[in-house]
């Protein structure tokens, strides 16, 4: 894998978010935004650059504008916690690329969010990486070491889960709170000896003196690491057609990946600032969900009545419990997370 071009990826993604015309890997597949079935107006959709991911296809190929109207704007965030202020203020009716912890943190603060689309489950694209020169041989070996992570993100849950299984007290670890770009820099300068992070920084660490100690395939299915899209509950319930169009735009990205795989790799690579070989490797590390997958028991549930037993709701609840026990979240978890998962917009 070649070193990815992080800054280039951000610049390209910002160009998309600003509505700047940017060449795609294949212009044949980019629809014009004039056929939208609804007019959402000048709303903003937040997203993260998580590397190769179908949602970045939806951004690059302007599927959100195609399904929701040409005035829809895209806003790039460097991490989930960075989006919390905008989500809490109501400036963002939709946000994609989030892990469970920032969503839980927002819900715990009273922000009315619902998961309306589960993008994918991480298997090999996120985890705990240690420097090969650090002498760390196991999770227990993190005691006294400096570990970089985005506190309040999915990495907080992952580290808490790994530590609990290894009998390691997190208080014995020097936690360094960094954004993904800062984490990459800290790794290069020797400020940290280990990190819990996701693609594309995860791949950079592995290819620059790192060794994978644990990846997300080691997490239990009922407490796993997902990338999810959320909606402001009040906005979505008031504008269900817009919420359905949002979900359809995400599904368009998945469909493009499945029907035009070679072109999709080029689109994702350009948008994320990575090479095509890296895009192929990253996408292989996900279990990706389509629109049809959403209203199933394994994802969001077949209905609102069954959503509490869905894979997403159970994972959200178990994430909440783990973060609460670790002291990262101070609000006690509810008995059920079904109210925070809504499969209806995928039907």
Q: Are residues 109 and 230 in the same domain?
A: yes
> Average pLDDT of 4-8?
28
- In the chain, the number of structural domains is 2
Residue 262 CB contacts under 8 Å (≥ 6 apart), including other chains: none
Over residues 87-110, the mean pLDDT reads: 90
Q: Is residue 1 part of a domain?
A: no
Domain shared by 233 and 339, yes or no: yes
Record the tokens describing residue 279, joined without a space.
């895009």
* pLDDT category of residue 51 using cuts at 50, 70 and 90: confident
From 192, 222, 252, the end of a domain falls on 222
126-156 pLDDT, tens digit per residue, is 899 999 999 999 999 999 999 999 887 778 8
Question: How far are the Cα atoms of 33, 82, 290 from residue 79, in angstroms, in the given order?
Answer: 28, 5, 24
Phi, psi of 326 (to 5 degrees): -85, -5
Domain co-membership, 239 together with 113? yes
- What's 187's domain CATH number? 3.40.190.10
Token look-up 């650090």 returns 134
What pTM value is reported for the model?
Answer: 0.77
**Which residues are CB-contacts of 60 (< 8 A; sequence separation ≥ 6)?**
16, 22, 24, 30, 267, 268, 270, 271
| pLDDT tens figures, 197-250 | 988 899 899 999 999 999 888 877 666 778 999 999 999 999 999 999 999 999
For residues 142 and 168, is the Cβ–Cβ distance under 8 A? yes
Boundary-marking domain end, from 203, 222, 241: 222
Domain boundaries, position 272: 6-122+223-346
d(CA 150, CA 81): 8
Q: Which of 222, 254, 272 represents a domain boundary (last residue)?
A: 222
């Amino acid at each position: 894998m070649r070193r990815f071009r992080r800054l280039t990826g951000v610049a390209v993604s910002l160009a998309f978010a600003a509505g700047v015309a940017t060449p795609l890997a294949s212009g044949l597949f980019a629809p014009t935004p004039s056929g939208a079935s609804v007019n959402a107006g000048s709303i903003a959709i937040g997203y993260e650059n998580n590397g190769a991911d179908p949602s970045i296809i939806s951004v690059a190929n302007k599927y959100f504008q195609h399904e929701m109207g040409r005035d829809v704007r895209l806003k790039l965030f460097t991490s989930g916690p960075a989006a919390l202020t905008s989500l809490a203020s109501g400036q963002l009716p939709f946000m994609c690329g989030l892990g469970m912890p920032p969503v839980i943190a927002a819900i715990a603060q009273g922000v009315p969010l619902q998961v309306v689309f589960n993008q994918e489950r991480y298997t090999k694209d996120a985890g705990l990486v240690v420097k090969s020169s650090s002498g760390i041989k196991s999770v227990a070996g993190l005691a006294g070491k400096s570990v970089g992570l985005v506190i309040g993100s999915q990495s907080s849950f992952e580290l808490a889960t790994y530590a609990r299984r290894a009998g390691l007290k997190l208080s014995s670890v020097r936690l360094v709170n960094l954004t993904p770009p800062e984490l990459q820099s800290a790794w290069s300068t020797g400020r940290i000896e280990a990190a819990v992070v996701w693609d594309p920084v995860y791949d950079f660490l592995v290819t620059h003196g790192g060794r994978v100690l644990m990846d997300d395939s080691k997490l239990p299915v009922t407490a796993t690491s997902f990338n999810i899209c959320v909606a402001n509950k009040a906005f979505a319930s008031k504008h269900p057609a817009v919420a359905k169009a949002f979900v359809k735009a995400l599904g368009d990205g998945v469909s493009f990946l499945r029907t035009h795989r070679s072109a999709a790799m080029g689109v994702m690579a350009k948008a994320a600032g990575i090479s095509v070989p890296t895009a192929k490797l990253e996408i292989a590390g996900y279990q990706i969900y389509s629109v049809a997958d959403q209203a199933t028991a394994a994802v969001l549930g077949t209905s609102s009545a069954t959503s509490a037993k869905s894979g997403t709701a159970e994972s959200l609840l178990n994430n909440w419990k783990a973060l609460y026990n670790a002291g990262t979240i101070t609000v006690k978890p509810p008995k059920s997370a079904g109210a925070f998962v809504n499969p209806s917009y995928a039907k």
